[in-house]
Structure formats: structure tokens, C-alpha cells
Structure 1
């Protein structure tokens, strides 16, 4: 059943203007974007394979829309850098734009284009990685041959990216359903 754009149709994302969303839920997503990489580093797990900072940025976009997704995405690497020194300064600009793109693309696809959350997560993962590469190229941060860099930078995180596309839409749908009290939303 196709959803209409009338005022009676279920909301595709949650409003980020509500005090609970601003203070608790978005704050928790930002905290998760800092805490997950810190925990992964502390446990000596492979950060580049798990992509822990990416998950909250995409989830913020899927749940709260493009503005909140972009803000959580852009703020996450900067906050992490200020608190832990990670990510490295050489990749901080690229990660800031990449994570902002993840959140913005996911949110735009769901909130504005009314696309399903799986499609939005897939577009977000692809778009964010392209933004990362573009910023790395523009800033001259790539010091090896591009094909070698592409393989080293993109392949390790591929399983995590696939997991993001599969799991985050399910989590976002459950989150929105719980907050809205709706029994059915498109994912």
C-alpha cells in the first residue's frame, strides 16, 4: 500500500524539535558515535573493519531526518578528535564530511524523498564513501597509488557497510514505530 503525503499519513521520521529528541535521543546517538570507536580502540578490535562511528550517523538520519543526521555525522569525528585525538588529523576532514553525508543522505532519502529505509541506508553508505574519497583526493591526503589506496580504504569496511544496510533500517523502523506508536512503517 503506497503512502500518501497527506497530513494523516504516518511520519517517515521523528521530529528533532521535541525536547526529548534533542536532549536524550540525539545526545545518546552523539555519545554512541564517540563511545563506540573509543571502546573498539580500547579492546584492540579492528576499527576500520567495524566502522563504529558510522552507525550512529546513519541511524540519526534514518530516524530524525537529514538535518539531524548531518549534524550528528559532522559532530561525531570532531568530538571524538577533541576527546581522544582520533581520528588522525590527516583523515579528520574526510571523515567529518563522510559522516555528515551518511546522515544527510539517509535522512534526505527517508524524510524528503519518502524512500524506504533499506534504500536510504544503501544510498547513504555509497554516497558517504564517495564523499570520503573525494575529500581525500581534493586535500591531497592520498599518498599511494589511487587503486592501492581504494582497496586499502574501502575493502576492510565492506562487511560492516553491508551490516549497516541490513540492520540499521530495522533498528530505525523499530525506533520510529515505538516513538510514534504506529503499527506499520515502510522500511
Structure 2
């Protein structure tokens, strides 16, 4: 009984560390990308292309589970906004929903037998569906200034980031799981 309690505490500890790592990464990584974009004269467009907040949240879900990653996904845009003003006020609620869903959905797929690349693809689709629904509800039901055209535009602009996620996340999960087994 003592062993199972210790394992449960370790699991909670691991989830907490995973959530904090994802949260910090999802706040710092975009700042690094935006700094590079600013230095290259691209402004914030590099961040819109590479989607740096998404990567640590999806990765956290596949490693730490839905609660840890969902929490990190929910909080990271709020903390980033409080510290940096990004994302913009207009986009903040939609990014909170999208990133929280990435975390929850990837966490729910954590222990499934699907290949990691399919898990990431399913998570990308589900997060964007929730974001699209929120944007449509916001625009048509609540008078949001964010227009529905942004739904497809963000996918088109972010295709490089989407592809990078499909490559980097499965490789990272594999490497981290192998390192844990050694």
C-alpha cells in the first residue's frame, strides 16, 4: 500500500512538473520566436507561422496527461498576455480555448495505442475545431471583432508550424520515453 501511495505522489509530482514546464515553455518560446522575427524584420508573423505555444502544450498532454496539459494550455495565454500583451485582447479567449483543448485532447490520447503522429494530427484538428466554434459563436452570437475568416487564414499561415509539430512532437515523445526507460 505504501508503494502505491508513493507511486501516486510521484505521478502527481511528475504531472505538476510537466504542467509547469509546459506553462513556462509556452510563455517563453513565443517571446524567443517573436524576438527573432523582430530582428529579421518579420514582426510577429514568425510566431503566427511557427505556432510556438502549441508545441509544449501538446507535448505535455502526451507525456503528463489531460489535467496537467489542459491547465497549462488554459493558463499559458493568460500569463503571456499579463506579461507581454500577447496574444492580443481580441484573440486571447480563442487561444485559451484552443490551447486548453490541445492539452486535454492530447492528454486523453496519451495512453492509446495510436502512433504519436496520428495523436498529434487528431489533437491539431480537435483544437482547431474548438477554436473555430468559439470564433463563430463569438462573432455571430456575441459581436466579437474577430472575423470567421481568421479560421482558415490561421491554418494557412501556420502550416509550417503544423508540419513541425507533426515531426517534432512524435520524435520528442519517443526520445523522452526512451530516456525514461534507460
Give TM-score scaled by structure 2 length: 0.80
Mapping of 1:13-24 within 5 angstroms?
Answer: 16-18=11-13, 21-23=15-17
Q: Choose between structure 1 and 2: higher helix proportion.
A: 2
Poorly superposed stretches of 4+, deviation over 6 Å: none
Structure 2 residue runs of 5 or longer lacking an equivalent are 1-9
C-alpha distance 63-77 of structure 1, shift in aligned 2 (>3 A): same
Give TM-score scaled by structure 1 length: 0.78
C-alpha distance 107-143 of structure 1, shift in aligned 2 (>3 A): closer
C-alpha distance 63-143 of structure 1, shift in aligned 2 (>3 A): closer
Structure 1 residue runs of 5 or longer lacking an equivalent are 1-14, 182-187
Partner of 2:160: 159
Partner of 1:73: 73
What is the CA–CA distance in structure 2 between the aligned matches of 1:110 and 1:142, rounded to whole Å?
Answer: 36
What is the CA–CA distance in structure 2 between the aligned matches of 1:87 and 1:16, rounded to whole Å?
Answer: 32
Q: Residue deviations 1:119-145, cap 9 Å, x none?
A: 11110111111111111111123554x
Partner of 1:149: 150
What is the CA–CA distance in structure 2 between the aligned matches of 1:78 and 1:41, rounded to whole Å?
Answer: 17
